[in-house]
Amino acid sequence: MYRVLITDDLSTAGLKILQETPGVEVVNRSGKHTPEQVREFLQDVDGIIIRSATKLTPEILKDQLRLKVIVRAGVGVDNIDLPAATREGIVVMNTPAGNTTSTAEQAMALLLAMARNIGPAAASMKAGKWDRKSFTGTQLAGKTIAVVGLGRIGLTVARRCIAFEMKVLGYDPFLSEERARAEGIELYRDIDDLVGKCDFLTVHTPMTPETEGLINAARIAKMKKGVRLINGARGGIIDEKALFDAIQSGHVAGAALDVFVDEPPKDWGLAQLPQVLATPHLGASTDEAQELVAVEAAEIITGFLVRNEVRHAVNMAPITAAEMIDMQPYLDLGRRLGLFMSQFTKGGVRGVRLQFKGEAASKKTKLISNAFAAGLLSKALADNVNIVNADMLARERGIEIKEELSHEVGDFSTLISATIQTDDGESTAAGTIFGKQFLRLVRVDQFHLDAYLDGCLLLYKHIDKPGVIGFMGNICGKHEINIAHMALGRERNEPGGDAIAVLNLDNEPDDETLAEVSAHQAVTSVQLVKLPKAGEPLPWLVSR
């Protein structure tokens, strides 16, 4: 019998699913508890469903030998210490689908209310005023809206905007052209090409280092005068100070905000501007959303416990210690190849082909493929992309990952090769394992070489002629950059053809150094790739 603990209020629909699932016993202790009490409750249960009130800290999770799974009825997992859960071998899952419709509807409500001045008009009526002239708005039909981020919620918003006869432009680095076309969205890969073409802009990305301040002062300045902005995703994706200044100057006509950097705001200046419609993070605050996340949480935890299903995991699925010891270098190689390709390739990803040769073909290649996908997507998505959810996230963006297996041994006893089709063409990288732990990059496009697959990599393509390598050594010496290793790949075994060099550097070159390298007449391209240090553990490692 699997025991599931409930410590926060859960809708009756979710409780009913748990109670009616054979083999599951519900331990309902919803209410306020001390950390010591929660720790004690967890010692004899297999899983727990929480909302936002219960905090699962490292102290609570440490040595919980029976606990297998935590399910958050909602999207955010800020109240769960993910590294601690992972270290203890506990799978953490959330319910991203349950509040999609409610959050998208909130964005549409903000859009409509802002366009038609609903908030101030309603306040005027409550003040006993009949003032029609002050609240003239703008219609949505015929206008252009930019949707930044085309995941579940972004696509749902886009569909509703199309129903309102709006032209929809979209920005997403991973959604395929075919999927965007099928949805009726004009897709852009460069956000700077998008921002100047819209009357409205709404953001629906996760908060990551790459998306923080994504809509900044420079990009707002490129927008049309009179543009209106909506943020129902995460505070800080739109730079709040830049938005405040642009509204004050008259460049931005208005904004509708459901989220803020600080909640509640420490500085109420932006929220109190008359041109701003502000709500206190109500995106998922509907009866339906709360019931849906409860139902989804119950289905997820029973599926995991009873049928070994893993859905919407935000850390790593548990595998045995023996499997991990065997698979770790292959997972590491797959992830590093994905990280490499995410920085080396240009253009939107359309498809991926992974080839496993030799010993690699006899391993659990699906796990390796997921590790590759996690590396490929990690720069664009939230930090919780991992080998459990990476494949799903790729498929949602129209990226299909195909596997090809060959047990024949070629030049290497094991080889993993990744070929990515992008909007701009095709790129290939291949890696191998020397011994049991040394990872090597052995191919980049048509060039064969032997480079370390760790740390800071400087790649430059060039014409194979005397003096280029010496030039690079002088530049690095001039800027006090130490070259740890250098690998060279040549198109042919004689001078004059194309070549590529991969330098493993002990310290990262600055923009001035890269500019000097690019200025050499024989150098045709320069690319900096940042990978984990050698031996750095996988972020999803589980010890049980």
Residues serving a catalytic function are: 234, 263, 281
Q: Are 275 and 247 in contact (CB under 8 A)?
A: yes
What 3 state SS string does 31-54 have? CCCCHHHHHHHHCCCCEEEECCCC
Burial category of 20 from C-beta neighbours within 10 Å (exposed 0-12, middle 13-18, buried 19 and up): exposed
Exposed e or buried b per residue across 415-452, where buried means at least 16 C-beta atoms within 10 angstroms of its C-beta: bbbbbbbbeeeebbbbbbbeeeeebbbbbbbebebebb
One-letter amino acid identity for 128? G
Count of H helices and E strands in the chain?
Answer: 17, 22
**Alpha-carbon distance values, 196 to 135, 166, 188 (Å):** 26, 16, 12
CA distance 282 to 79: 19
Find where tokens 């008009």 sit: 121
One-letter amino acid identity for 138? T
Q: Within 10 A of 113 (CB to CB), how many other CB atoms are there?
A: 18
Cis peptide before 35 (omega within 30 of 0): no
CA-nearest of 455, 479, 472, 475 to 530 is 455
